Structure 1
Amino acid sequence: MYGSTAHNIYAQNNVGIESPAKLIEMLYEGVLRFNAQAKKAIKDGDIEKRVHWINRSTAIITELISILDMKQGNVSEYLEGLYNYEIKLLAEAGALNSIEKMDEVSNVFKGLLEAWRESTDVA
């Protein structure tokens, strides 16, 4: 449902993406950017924006799940579980207006982005 939307948004906005590795980096950055906006909306008490930005982050994470290559074994299985847990945390953050849960998701994606950059030399 969300997956193709996230990919289409990035594809439209970044026609010249150099590689699939760069796309993953951009998706991680998108989660971080949208989470920051959602966190601001929570602080401001803006329900509409909170829902919008959490939905955008969820769409990207759903896209990340859809592009996992499950033939790669343990790493893909681990990431699938991690991504699904992060979606659960985003839902809880929205329902509870929890900045702490937003921060937890952002911290995970900061770590993933850093590891991705190190492993792909995209930085």
Structure 2
Amino acid sequence: MYSNAAYNIYNQNNVNIESPEKLIEMMYEGVLRFNAQAKKAIFDEDNSKKVYWINRAIAVIVELIAVLDKSQGDVAVYLDGLYNYQIQLLSYANIENDTEKIDEVSNVFKGLLAGWRETTDVAH
């Protein structure tokens, strides 16, 4: 589903990680952390922080799209569409200060993270 591109990109940047599987887990966790910060910024009415954290979450999702190995079939194609939809939701959340859209994205990534951990044995 994912090529070793993610691993190679981060290795080139001297980031020590255990495996490509661990990197994907870290990226999912990053989206969740950034969404939580964006949601807090909305509650605090801090527009610049909201934009910053949503943009960070979107950047991680863009990277997840970039490293998808679409030669692996339907799951990769599905994830491509799912990730793009999550970017759309975060963009709307940014424009509309909509924490429910952030929650929707977070719920998707919680499910992806749980499934990823289950299938890769990277769980803690």
TM-score of the aligned structures, taking structure 2 as reference length: 0.89
Pairwise CA distance, 1:16: 2.0
1:110 aligns with 2:82: no
For residue 3 of structure 1, what is the aligned residue in structure 2?
A: none
Question: Using the alignment, how far apart are the partners of 2:115 and 2:102 within structure 1?
Answer: 20
Where 1:22 maps in the other structure, the secondary structure is helix
For residue 53 of structure 1, what is the aligned residue in structure 2?
A: 53
Cα 1:16–1:101 change in 2 (3 A) is: same
For residue 70 of structure 1, what is the aligned residue in structure 2?
A: 70
Pairwise CA distance, 1:15: 2.5
Question: Using the alignment, how far apart are the partners of 1:93 and 1:12 within structure 2?
Answer: 33
Gaps of 5+ in 1: 1-6
Cα 1:100–1:13 change in 2 (3 A) is: farther
Cα 1:46–1:14 change in 2 (3 A) is: farther
Gaps of 5+ in 2: 1-6
Question: Using the alignment, how far apart are the partners of 1:19 and 1:77 within structure 2?
Answer: 23
Letter in 1 for 2:108: V
Question: Using the alignment, how far apart are the partners of 1:113 and 1:59 within structure 2?
Answer: 17
1:83 aligns with 2:100: no
Give the aligned CA root-mean-square deviation in angstroms: 2.2
For residue 20 of structure 2, what is the aligned residue in structure 1?
A: 20
